[in-house]
Chains A and B, each alone.
Chain A
Amino acid sequence: MGKISRRTMLGATGGLIAGGLLKTRADALAAEEGVARLQTTQADPTKVLGAPTSVLGQRAPGEQPRRQMGTPATTASSRTPIEQLQGIITPADLHFERHHAGVPAIDPDRYELLIHGMVDRPMTFTLDDLKRFPAESRLCFVECSGNGGAAYNRNAARERAPWQIDGLLSTSEWTGVLLSTLLREVRVDRGASWLLAEGGDAAVMSRSIPLEKALDDAMIAYGQNGEAIRPAQGYPARLLLPGWEGNAQVKWIRRLEISDRPSMTREETSKYTDPLADGTARQFSFVMDAKSIITFPAFPNVLPERGWWEITGLAWSGRGRITRVEVSTDGGRTWAPAQLQEPVLSKCTTRFRHIWNWDGGEALLMSRAIDETGYVQPDLETQIAARGAGSSYHYNTIRPWRVEADGRVFFAQGEGA
């Protein structure tokens, strides 16, 4: 973050983590975690012997990003502070959470995955079994289907930070065995077309998944960013469905039942269906359409002075690669192509950057993502016209930000932009 002071970046208003506070909180946390030696920074570190090596690294005391719980704090979800992260990877301990009955404590030694139903040979696999199969790693995002709900609103509040809009989005390197590899072992019957994926949590979460996806790029993942999947992300193993809504990617996966019809679970009827203005509701709406959000500058940032600023953010599509991101600083009258930071991967977040010379006047910033299918992230009115204002899930409209002449930045969806 170099030249910009912490106070500038975090904004003068409302943040839990305005400069002074953050330091105090970091100190408290450091003491709590037994890392007192990191509490103070040295005026001249070249004159004091540094700290010794350690078995487990710690973040710098002044860098203590936290998952955002909302107010009042919710127990069913927590959000990734996307505006505090660099690049595209989400540190595993900041991956967003959405649980339906808490995080189960599963003994990895007793863990088994059962695959049965329309198969020749019903089988179980221990965690060691899963790890013995040929493995794959891939980078991809996981996103809750309800992400972006705050942006699908003509009267959206101005004081909305990126995490409040799109914090149910995280990107990891996932490692595991392709589901197709396991399905070769059980030998799926002719005529099978669906499977029921079921978790071992207290909700025994279940979703019906088309077999086509299972044979394409679905994975039973046990690794996340180089280590074992965190309990909150499905330890010891989860279903990973690249590009699809998070809810379908059942965590703590314990059972896959192959069949020829969906099971019509609560999560694919009562929830995760998208009502439309024509009196119907879209069901099995799995894919996350192309989206982007500018994460800087955004609320609650305050730009302290005119001049050169890098507008940056994330773009992603569940249908493949992001091919282009365009940025507008004049409310959509003109658009310029943003620079896409490598790597640009299919079904993964892509970091975009656009250098901007702010003249000190009011500006309306927007980004729009275009994916390899030619889909262009729509504005709010276009999407409302297609779906209806009451539609839910898959909110991928343009997220506009208003920069005021005094440098304060606000979420601008409510301006009817």
Chain B
Amino acid sequence: MNRRLLGPAPQWLKRGRLAHIGLLAATTLVSYGCGPNAPNSQSGAAVSGAAVLARPEWPSSFAIGHDATPAQIAALDIDFGPDGAGAPPGSGSVAEGKVVYDTKCVGCHGLTGQEGPNDRLVGREPRDGFPFGESRGIRKTIGNYWPYATTIFDYVTRAMPMTSPGSLTPDEVYAVAAYILFLNEIIPEDAVMNAETLPAVVMPARDRFVPDDRVGGPEVR
């Protein structure tokens, strides 16, 4: 969904965590987005190790390709980010989600989302801490590992059920997300998920994720 219509990026992205990426890219684009012949010198310096963005003999545009129509964009633009960007209208309750789950998911993810045979979706253990780095024995689930509830909607819309992907309506996906969140003891049984409530769910593992600090050089990280 077009982020231009949205407010600024989340704080955690701004506060230096991934800022190096944002800043470098932005610097590059200032020169590059504005002028036809800008790229080479300024942007080459801004992006470390950058390939030459354009050769001197290149025109500002090759005039190859086609304008994308709003309909073409709308047909493909299915992502649903943590800020609610891209959320389609619709809603679903925990009870409705149980019906979806029991008919379309249970065979691969188990009666309560824990039994498999495929990925385990439910489980809060261990409730204290986040010991996944210490031992490989603990199964990751939506309840103990996923940082954002919106990812359930985004992923299930794309890829599930595995054998008929993309077949669920937005109402069904909101509902099954509600049911999975309920089974994970994250939302109450009477909760309804929609474009506003789903992004507002705070996941237990929300603050566990940190940016990559490996940078090469002699230190092993």
CB pair A101 B165 closer than 8 Å: yes
Distance A265 CA – B76 CA, assembled complex (angstroms): 16
Distance A204 CA – B145 CA, assembled complex (angstroms): 22
CB pair B133 A388 closer than 8 Å: yes
- Chain A residues, CB < 8 A from B9: 193, 260-261
Q: Is A335 an interface residue (CB 8 A)?
A: no
Q: Is B54 an interface residue (CB 8 A)?
A: yes
Given A191-B26, A204-B166; A279-B146 close (CB under 8 Å):
no
- Chain B residues, CB < 8 A from A192: 25-26, 29
* A170-186 near B? 1/0 per residue, CB < 8 Å: 00000000101110110
CB pair B68 A116 closer than 8 Å: yes
* B184-197 near A? 1/0 per residue, CB < 8 Å: 00000000000000
Given A263-B154, A265-B155; A280-B58 close (CB under 8 Å):
no
Distance A262 CA – B177 CA, assembled complex (angstroms): 21
Q: Is A187 an interface residue (CB 8 A)?
A: yes
- Chain B residues, CB < 8 A from A180: 51, 53-54
- Chain A residues, CB < 8 A from B72: 114, 124
Select from chain B the residue with minimum beta-carbon distance to A282.
Answer: B212
B64, B66, B138, B155: the one within 8 Å of A132 (CB): B64
Q: Known pairs A189-B4, A204-B165, A281-B145; list 11 more (Cβ under 8 Å).
A: A124-B66, A134-B55, A191-B26, A206-B154, A283-B210, A284-B211, A289-B214, A373-B217, A388-B133, A390-B131, A390-B134
> In the complex, what's the smallest C-beta–C-beta distance from A319 to chain B, in angstroms?
4
Select from chain A the residue with minimum beta-carbon distance to B73.
Answer: A116
CB pair A281 B65 closer than 8 Å: no
> In the complex, what's the smallest C-beta–C-beta distance from A259 to chain B, in angstroms?
4
- Chain B residues, CB < 8 A from A181: 53-54
CB pair B220 A386 closer than 8 Å: yes
Per DSSP, chain B at the interface is loop
CB pair B43 A215 closer than 8 Å: yes
CB pair A210 B25 closer than 8 Å: yes
Select from chain B the residue with minimum beta-carbon distance to A120.
Answer: B33
- Chain B residues, CB < 8 A from A215: 25, 28-29, 32, 43, 47, 50, 53
Distance A101 CA – B161 CA, assembled complex (angstroms): 11
- Chain B residues, CB < 8 A from A194: 21
Per the CB 8 Å criterion, the residue count for chain B at the interface is: 86
CB pair A319 B216 closer than 8 Å: yes
Q: Which of A5-13, A22-30, A44-52, A374-382 contacts B (4 or more CB under 8 A)?
A: A374-382
Given A123-B66, A189-B33, A280-B209; A257-B77 close (CB under 8 Å):
yes
Given A118-B4, A375-B218, A390-B135; A257-B209 close (CB under 8 Å):
no
Mind listing 29 A-B residue pairs with CB under 8 Å?
A101-B165, A116-B68, A184-B53, A190-B30, A192-B26, A192-B29, A193-B22, A194-B21, A204-B78, A204-B166, A211-B25, A212-B47, A215-B32, A215-B47, A215-B50, A216-B51, A266-B151, A270-B145, A270-B146, A276-B210, A281-B132, A282-B213, A287-B214, A320-B216, A374-B216, A374-B217, A387-B133, A390-B136, A392-B136
CB pair B81 A281 closer than 8 Å: no
> In the complex, what's the smallest C-beta–C-beta distance from A241 to chain B, in angstroms?
13
* B13-44 near A? 1/0 per residue, CB < 8 Å: 10000100110111011101110000100010
| Residues of A near any B CB (own CB < 8 A) | 100-101, 114-118, 120-126, 129, 132-134, 178, 180-182, 184-185, 187-194, 196, 198, 202-206, 210-212, 215-217, 254-255, 257, 259-266, 269-270, 273-287, 289, 319-320, 371, 373-376, 378, 382-383, 386-392, 394
CB pair B131 A264 closer than 8 Å: no
> In the complex, what's the smallest C-beta–C-beta distance from B82 to chain A, in angstroms?
5
Given A319-B216, A378-B220; A114-B209 close (CB under 8 Å):
no
A185, A205, A389: the one within 8 Å of B62 (CB): A185
Distance A46 CA – B145 CA, assembled complex (angstroms): 67
CB pair A203 B68 closer than 8 Å: no
CB pair A212 B133 closer than 8 Å: no
CB pair B134 A389 closer than 8 Å: yes
- Chain A residues, CB < 8 A from B22: 193, 210, 260
CB pair A204 B159 closer than 8 Å: yes
- Chain B residues, CB < 8 A from A279: 129-131, 133, 208
CB pair B133 A390 closer than 8 Å: yes
- Chain A residues, CB < 8 A from B158: 203-206
> In the complex, what's the smallest C-beta–C-beta distance from B139 to chain A, in angstroms?
12
CB pair A280 B208 closer than 8 Å: yes
CB pair A283 B51 closer than 8 Å: no
